[in-house]
Structure 1
């Protein structure tokens, strides 16, 4: 969202405590690596979810892995909570500081260690930007596939923390499918390596456990990613539909036909109309919904797949179809989709970006449900999302200057996530839980499942200092959330689990 809807919390630490921790950190770090003045720490008070803010006690900016270990040792010995931070582009409050804690930023660990064109891997530090990996691999005709909308700014360490995806994740997978190895600094002061450069590694698959753990298990200091050959060519279909239900059903039809597009994205009319004046992507703003379907590969493969997808889309009820004829036009089509979030500022002072995932066959049902919720909550919602894998990104539009509107936006978002769970989906796809969705965890998971999550965290972080109070709700929080949302003994969706 563009502006904060909640006031910044007052400092939650004493000056004496801050001075003691700063002194301990100065003993192991250069002064330039420690920030404690309010004007220096202010830029770190939130991530991309600017509605929630907290001024941190201290911010650390290590240059080396040894400095990361030193910070962890000081915090462990002094019982100081630690919040890891990448580029700060996250959208769930995962990097929201703890009032009496230390923010550990990996921004200065930004070196590309090596690119191995023969093994098709890149070894990078966590502060390296997502797009910079592909730029470094470009001379070898290789690239890194996951491409979040924020790829020009987001860091690979943050991508690992949130298991980020992107518009091409349907065919090429999320971060977890494209990372081979991570090097991790643990709170106990050890360096461990999860995964490896080989096809398999011995022992438990802790790499998959760690990716998406939102900074709760350790600090990434190095990442090995897969690189893949850049396709010879790619083309995009823009298919227009007269209503979102038909468009949603068309997505399921494409996959049912045995086609796995490189990208399959959907935007409703509200989204396309807010984006088109901003980007001039050539979108059909008269359509109730548009699908962007990309084929990539050899020229022959692309021509065949475009023809097959066109036939499926026409059979599914598309009222118009346009196909990119040049690379510039293809990039223009995608630029509109990738700029949907900032374009929301053209039609609303603020927006609240949700992130839930549903079965593809439920797309039409959920979009219809979201439309009904607009009336219930008295707010507009623009829908733009990764349709191919059912990852929704509804943008709830509101004005933080109007009393009560942000609370209504939060309630709207919680109802969307509850609906996602009710149709067999989940409360997040790639943005993580952080603070934003922690209450919704109580809707999806049983107490036994949440206890299992805590057990994993304790195995890595027995002191409970790494990003505490994020992602996994306590029993008390779930009880309070239940009381807040039960009306006359009934939940909003009757088939949701109770506690």
Structure 2
């Protein structure tokens, strides 16, 4: 780094300290290293991290960044799995760690107003005594933030019945790239004008930075029934899912885990899954007592047609939590099976589950890399996790090629590139599988309408040919196709 570059960084740090206070600007090597990571395998070091406490401070940071053409990346808890919160081009990372307050709860109109750094589960815990909860429940809900959920339009196991983040956000305060502060949407139903709220949700921080959110709250259900169903094969479990949905039934959740996931979860939390099974389904029903019991009888009858090894109903809330602990903790538990895993996020029609899972298993056998399959089976959202060791030469290139092939299979089966994790850095090179050049050009026009300088989370979503370090090189190699690992 030249003396002039170092001087520019020092000036930037000094200006940021004037905005947010000296204790809320981080630029030493240890802090920068921490912020290089999110939940993906990508890396990218920022120049500086700033922790604002208000939209006013964020506005000032963005005005400063714009004046000096410095890229800015907003960051929640860093749990994302597509590289969306990584400072791929350096610049400023705006951490939402201090903006973590629940500002208002209106139990009569059933909404809350929160800051973006509020942890997802904390909101439901806070409103639970009032008989309310916030429905989107990503597996990382104990750590992920509402702001991060908005960036990726996150879902979770219960999105089958209740929808993803966009279905529960009423309105939000945002700061645009030029530093202006505005509000998209309303607290009440708003059908007038362009849906800027909807456009921003899922835009991965490339259009605006969200600073305040009004979210819809739901009444806690009268009755909840959680069922564990074990099957000899993942094909049998998939057929049961197709049977349930095909009968017109929409449970609150239908989750599936294969034998790799069962082994990992049992070793980590002892959730009570039968380790001899090829796959398990975790089905949850909620609503009025009589309706739930009637629905359970119908679902059990359907699943019996596919020869379950076991059907077990949670006796109480403690057993329900135990069963869910395995599903919620399974990703971290995969570390018991391999040093690293690479999780792929794609969505397919539910009728294609058997065929696509068969193709993924064949891909695993050909490549020699185990693939643990866990999925939000009810809506066809797959999370195949490729087990590998990044210390082994060639492993990163190979698993990226396998991931690319899985996404190709999803799209060719009538599905999409992402169910809830976003595009980020991870899937840029696969965008052409779904979108034409004309499609991409139209999306670019929308980005330009919000800002022309491309300073908000640049290098994400759109294919750029640029990337970060070794992972970018590996992605370039992976583009040659599945032959990279054969």
TM-score normalised by length of structure 2: 0.94
Does the aligned pair in 1 maintain the 2:89–2:459 contact within 8 Å? no
Residue of structure 1 in register with 2:226 after alignment? 236
Per-residue displacement from partner, 1:427-451 (whole Å, max 9, x unpaired)? 1111111111111112221111111
- For 1:425 and 1:476, how far apart are their aligned partners in 2? 27
Does the aligned pair in 1 maintain the 2:71–2:89 contact within 8 Å? no
Counterparts of 1:211-222 in structure 2, within 5 Å, are 211-222=201-212
- For 2:271 and 2:78, how far apart are their aligned partners in 1? 28
Residue of structure 2 in register with 1:269 after alignment? 259
Gapped runs of 5+ residues in structure 1? 1-9, 493-499
Residue of structure 2 in register with 1:58 after alignment? 48
Residue of structure 2 in register with 1:126 after alignment? 116
- For 1:483 and 1:127, how far apart are their aligned partners in 2? 37
Residue of structure 2 in register with 1:469 after alignment? 459
Residue of structure 2 in register with 1:109 after alignment? 99
Residue of structure 2 in register with 1:17 after alignment? 8
- For 2:213 and 2:409, how far apart are their aligned partners in 1? 36
Counterparts of 1:245-324 in structure 2, within 5 Å, are 245-324=235-314
Does the aligned pair in 2 maintain the 1:109–1:125 contact within 8 Å? yes
How big is the shift at 1:185? Answer: 0.4
Count of aligned pairs between the two proteins:
478
Closer, same or farther in 2 for the Cα pair 1:360/1:81, shift >3 Å? same
Counterparts of 1:86-485 in structure 2, within 5 Å, are 86-474=76-464, 485=479
**How large is the Cα RMSD of the aligned pairs?**
2.2
- For 1:69 and 1:140, how far apart are their aligned partners in 2? 35
Closer, same or farther in 2 for the Cα pair 1:300/1:356, shift >3 Å? same
Name which of 7, 23, 26 aligns with 1:35.
Answer: 26
- For 1:132 and 1:482, how far apart are their aligned partners in 2? 40
- For 1:387 and 1:52, how far apart are their aligned partners in 2? 27
Does the aligned pair in 1 maintain the 2:404–2:478 contact within 8 Å? no
How big is the shift at 1:24? Answer: 2.6
Does the aligned pair in 2 maintain the 1:81–1:98 contact within 8 Å? no
How big is the shift at 1:481? Answer: 8.2
Closer, same or farther in 2 for the Cα pair 1:399/1:484, shift >3 Å? closer
How big is the shift at 1:99? Answer: 4.3
How big is the shift at 1:319? Answer: 3.3
Does the aligned pair in 2 maintain the 1:21–1:78 contact within 8 Å? no
Does the aligned pair in 1 maintain the 2:63–2:179 contact within 8 Å? yes
Gapped runs of 5+ residues in structure 2? 468-473
Per-residue displacement from partner, 1:17-70 (whole Å, max 9, x unpaired)? 312322332333311121122122221111111x22222101110011110000
How big is the shift at 1:491? Answer: 10
- For 2:305 and 2:112, how far apart are their aligned partners in 1? 43
Closer, same or farther in 2 for the Cα pair 1:249/1:211, shift >3 Å? same
- Structure 1's consecutive aligned runs of 4 or more residues displaced over 4 angstroms after TM superposition are 480-487
TM-score normalised by length of structure 1: 0.92
- For 2:70 and 2:127, how far apart are their aligned partners in 1? 39
- For 2:230 and 2:478, how far apart are their aligned partners in 1? 41
- For 1:40 and 1:400, how far apart are their aligned partners in 2? 23
Does the aligned pair in 2 maintain the 1:235–1:327 contact within 8 Å? no
- For 1:475 and 1:125, how far apart are their aligned partners in 2? 35
- For 2:483 and 2:59, how far apart are their aligned partners in 1? 46
- For 2:90 and 2:370, how far apart are their aligned partners in 1? 37
- For 1:115 and 1:397, how far apart are their aligned partners in 2? 43
Per-residue displacement from partner, 1:322-374 (whole Å, max 9, x unpaired)? 11121111111111111110110111111111111010001111100011111
- For 1:134 and 1:484, how far apart are their aligned partners in 2? 41
Bigger mean CA offset, 463-472 vs 34-43: 34-43
Bigger mean CA offset, 34-43 vs 307-316: 34-43
Closer, same or farther in 2 for the Cα pair 1:119/1:267, shift >3 Å? same
Residue of structure 2 in register with 1:46 after alignment? 37
Closer, same or farther in 2 for the Cα pair 1:416/1:428, shift >3 Å? same
How big is the shift at 1:286? Answer: 1.4
